[in-house]
Amino acid sequence: TAKYNIITFFPKFLFEQFSRYANLFFLFITLIQQIPGVSPTGKWSTAGPLILVLSISAIKELIEDYARHKADREVNHSQVFVLRGGKFIQEKWRNVNLAPTKFNTIAAGEPHGMCYIQTANLDGETNLKIRQALPETASKNSTQDIQDFKVSINSITQGQVECEGPNNRLYRFIGNMTFDEQEPIPLGPNQILLRGAQLKNTQWIYGLAIYTGHESKLMQNTTMAPIKRSNVEHVTNDQIIFLFFLLIGLSLLSAIVYEGYSAVPAHIAWRTSFEGLKPAKFGMAFLTFVILYNNLIPISLIVTLEIVRFVQGLLIGWDLDMYYEKTDTPAKARTSNLNEELGQVKYVFSDKTGTLTCNIMEFRRCSIGGKIYGTIHGEGFDDMDLIKDLTGSAPTAVMIREMLTMMAICHTVIPDRQNDDKSIIAYQAASPDEDAIVCAARDIGYVFTARTPNTVTISAMGKEECYEVLSVLEFNSTRKRMSVIVRCPDGKIKLYCKGADSVIYARLHPGGSPFAEQTSDQLREFAVDGLRTLCFGMRELSDSQFNEWNQIYKTASTALEDRDNKIDEAAELIEKDLHLIGASAIEDKLQEYVPETIAALSKAGVNLWVLTGDKQETAINIGYSCRLLNDDMALLIVNESNLAGVQATLLKHVQAFGENIRQDNNTALIIDGQSLQFALEKDLRNTLLDVALSCKSIICCRVSPLQKSLIVQLVRNEVKAITLAIGDGANDVGMIQSAHIGIGISGQEGLQAVCAADYSIARFHYLRKLLFVHGNWSYNRICKCILYSFYKNYTLYLIEFWFATVNGFSGQTLFNQWTISVYNIIFTSLPPIAIGIFDQTLSSKSLLEYPKLYKETQKNDTYNTKVFWLWTLNAIYHTLVIFWLCMLAFIHETPFINGKAIGCRGNRKLEDCSFNRLLELGRNVSHVVIWGSIISWFLFLFMFCSFWPTIDIGANMAGLELIMLKCPSFWLTVIIVSVIALFRDYVWNIIQRTFYKSLTQEIQELEHRKGDIETRLKGNDIKDTIWKHLPIITFGNNETENAQTGYAFSQEEHGATSQAELIRRYDSNIEKPLGD
């Protein structure tokens, strides 16, 4: 993920640097300075500073890219066991054909060669998926077996693997394996482990590496790290082009006038008398003036910005408010060139898993028999009232026992006893929600202890109970429920069913659930707290009822056509007349302060799009939890399976918005990856944007990494707004690189996102300070630094032009060459750097507390073409005042008491120029920098005027310092010129702050006198309802959904092995093979 390597550094670095027009211009000046007799300032006056600027930039780039290489090495040097010489040895990933990244599973530690993986790093899904080895290889569970297989598979005559070429399709793989001269065995996605997947609840697997390095699907879904430039830099480049043409115009004008003077007889134009020397030709004169005026474009600007941005990046890393103590992780600016971009973000694209959430499911509350147990506060589930009611004579005691029993047996979880310690039980759950429920039952006293193909065993408050599993009706996204039919220890047959409240309530026995309405209200209360809910229902069956239904179910299970639908129809026959037991509430644990951060972003005018690979239902649940969605918001759901359907749905939404198209409306768009595949086509992109930009919130679910990148690129290119992408997994790398700004979360899913990002933070809520404070400060600091850098050069080098009007445009310089160089290096170097590092428009407290202030930097009013040329006009005014007042003051030589007379216009103008630049800045930076710079001028003057004759430099300046400082006219001119030059600035500031003040200026004044900022902003803080002012658009019922309660169920569908088949294969009482 690094930006450079040894071979590409110089060409790539130089290309990036010389794509900045300023550097390209100075390269041009350096070249023409080498022409003899052209440069009035020497051959190296531009080349030296340019080399210095490029060297500092190169060092900064190397430091930042070294961090990327270091992070890459941590990944590429990870250890893996490789079979060599008949035994497994540890090797670095990079030494196994670059890196083992895509495995064909040969054998695994679970029954029948199965293993569990989590693909959150690839697609954002936290539920576990099952991968299964081929039956022909599943029994190879020892080192010797694998060694024999390795010899066979590596033999040209005996074995080989054929597969499709590298591609970016995560969910597809086609291949064949041939060994022992048998018929080819088909390989598919169910045998493939992708790089980035994590092995879970499986002790070991043996695998065969197929794709490695950049051929892996993970890397196929990423792009090369792009060269990013800030919007401010683009504006600066545009202004440099204008300045270049201005420079050419001034040089042409000067050369033309010079030609005119050269044609005038010498006795008339005595100042251009060449005394026998021929005048320079027009072309040479033109080049001379180009070199003379070249510093209208400040060469010091680039190095100043590099220093400022680098230090700003350090300040971001040193901010303790963005330091995560638990993992010892500070914020980090990996690419400091984009600091000012942080203050102008309009769209944030966020991953869900690991970015908004913690990847942790916690059982928090439940309702049993109409009574609520547990609390949203604290950690986990802890309510002693439930234990008291269970063990006492409470009316709900029977219901509580039924609920806890159901939580312990109605699932597809596998108990895994460790071979070395049988007392430890680890649960293997395909659904993290089921794991949370089973663990909650265990903590209360109903422990799920064993599973065999036909039974489940629990310990109910210390008493062992064995239930015979008669049937399992699996969960899928259509049914939104799962059921088990068991024979209880007392011989009764019971059906336990859990699922979404809508499907459970539709199947309740009429009048058989007296507390159904009360539970429904409690479900809404859980939803308000952002919890994922499940309803629990139960039905007793007679033997005859079950046997009759079981025949129907077996017939459906063996059907050759339309089997899935027939199974669902059979389930409908038995899953009815349920008695409601209660409901559970699980927290998909959000990172701290996520809802508050999202609310603050909305207040700041930042639109949040959530792009996740997770299921639609899960994504919507999180949307409600983090307050991205609310109950009053209409949900526009687009999940069509073909182009025509997507087009028709989007066009209906466009028509419904009417005049409110591309405006803020109280609606949310939820679209899945399959629909996006069609919506991102060329003909539908603008329609998709019309709908998306008309919604307050957007959630894209089941999207691939490539689709995430395409969505970001679409908004970036079409909307022309600053975009930011934030994520923590390898599946987020594409969108992080596509956005103007990429931010990686240092989370649980590895370092890939951080390595590819421009900035890294440990928690999502740190984004608030990064944007509102550091973004605001950096933007204003950089803008002022750039404007001041141009301004100070104008005021020096435009004086050269005015001087040319009185010297016959001879190309003569007004200032000493050394003083010109020191002007930028010493006299005026510290003030712009001080602005760029220390200037604060507003306090951190105000910027965080009132997000509306962020809109001030989004407007881009501080630095744009208009502001740039207003500063230019101001500089022209100041140069006119400085030059012509000094000319008037010293049009006649100044007499001294000893009868001598002297003129010192050049040094006088330089001093007035320096003083005015520093006094102009006096309102913005510390007095230490201002007065220090002024003192530096006097120190330099004393030193420089003393060099000659000891050092052959500045002979014409010898002794000038004492003469000038003793001259009363000198001091009087300094005062008069400074007052007249700055008078306009102060008058304008008074008028502007009195009648046309900006919001930022108002808040500055309120901060200064400790006024009521909240009243001024009319309560615009993050506590307000952020959607209440938006219009609500009415849509047809078939196009919208309002999911007040989200059911807690996330499980792989259509996997290698069905959940019902999986639990029928397991016997937790049998020890698993060790794989040694």
pLDDT of 161-204, one tens digit each? 888 888 877 777 888 888 767 778 888 887 888 877 888 777 78
Mean pLDDT, the chain, as a whole number? 80
Among 381-385, 421-425, 892-896, where is mean pLDDT lowest?
892-896
State which H helix or E strand residue 651 sits in: helix 643-657
Of 726, 684, 646, nearest in space to 356 by CA: 726
Give the mean pLDDT of 812-832. 74
Residue 236's nearest CA partner among 865, 715, 730 is: 865
Question: What is the Cα–Cα distance from 966 to 962, expressed in whole angstroms?
Answer: 6
- Residue 1021 pLDDT: 43
295-334 residues labelled b (16+ CB within 10 A) or e (exposed):
bbbbbbbbbbbbbbbbbbbebbbebeebbeeeeebbbbbb
Contact 677, 706 (CB under 8 A): no
Q: pLDDT at position 330, please?
A: 92
For residue 547, what pLDDT is reported?
93
Whether residue 479 is predicted with pLDDT greater than 90 in this model: the reply is no
pLDDT at 1041: 44
Which of the pair, 716 or 423, is modelled with greater confidence?
716
Whole-number pLDDT of residue 1025: 39
pLDDT of 609 reads 94
Segment among 159-168, 440-449, 575-584, 703-712 with least mean pLDDT: 159-168
pLDDT tens-digit map of 703-717: 888 889 899 999 998
The answer to whether residue 44 scores a pLDDT higher than 80 is no
pLDDT of residue 109: 63
Three-state secondary structure call for residue 371: strand
The predicted pLDDT at position 774 comes to 94
pLDDT digits (tens, 9 = 90+) for 849-886: 889 889 888 888 888 888 888 998 998 898 888 888 88
For 540, the token pair is 């007793």
DSSP three-state, residue 788? helix
Strand partners, 105: 207
Beta strands in 452-531 (DSSP E): 455-460, 463-473, 481-487, 493-499
CB within 8 A of 935, min separation 6: which ones? none
1007 contact partners, CB below 8 Å, separation of at least 6:
842, 843, 846, 1013
Q: What is the mean pLDDT of residues 902-913?
A: 49
Q: 580: alpha, beta or left, given left = phi > 0 and alpha = psi -120 to 50?
A: beta
Supply the pTM of this predicted model.
Answer: 0.75
Q: Is the pLDDT of residue 832 over 70?
A: yes
Model confidence at 763, pLDDT cuts 50, 70, 90, reads very high
Do 369 and 582 form a contact (C-beta atoms < 8 A)? Answer: yes
What is residue 247's predicted lDDT score, i.e. its pLDDT? 84
Higher pLDDT, 598 or 60: 598
Q: What is the pLDDT of residues 61-72, one digit of tens each?
A: 888 788 778 877
In the structure, what pLDDT confidence band is assigned to residue 1038 with cuts at 50, 70 and 90?
Answer: very low
- Asked if the model's pLDDT at residue 1022 lies above 50, the reply is no
Tell me whether residue 351 is one of the annotated catalytic residues: yes
The lowest-confidence range among 119-123, 460-464, 611-615, 998-1002 is 119-123
User: Which range (49-58, 277-286, 728-737, 970-979) has the least confidence?
Assistant: 277-286
Give the confidence band of 1073 by pLDDT, cuts at 50, 70, 90.
low
pLDDT attached to residue 240: 82
Q: What is the radius of gyration, based on Cα positions, of the chain?
A: 37
Give the number of other CB atoms < 10 A from CB of residue 711.
Answer: 27
Task: Look at strands 114-118 and 345-350 and give their pairing.
Answer: unpaired
Tell me the mean pLDDT in the region 518-526: 88
In tens, the pLDDT along 511-521 reads: 767 889 999 98
- The per-residue pLDDT for 203 is 77
CA angle 570, 498, 200 (to 5 degrees): 105
Q: Is residue 689's pLDDT more than 60?
A: yes
End-to-end CA distance of the chain: 36
DSSP-derived secondary structure letter, 759: E
* Per-residue pLDDT tens over the stretch 223-249: 666 677 888 888 888 888 888 888 888
Spatial neighbors of 963 by CB under 8 A, at least 6 apart, are 896, 902, 904
More confident residue, 213 or 877: 877
Catalytic site residue from 65, 123, 351, 389? 351
- 917-954 residue pLDDT tens: 444 544 445 667 777 777 877 787 778 777 776 776 66
Percent of the chain scored above 70 by pLDDT?
A: 82
* The token pair that represents 451 in the structure block: 């599973």
Between strands 1046-1047 and 532-541, the pairing is: parallel
pLDDT at 922: 43
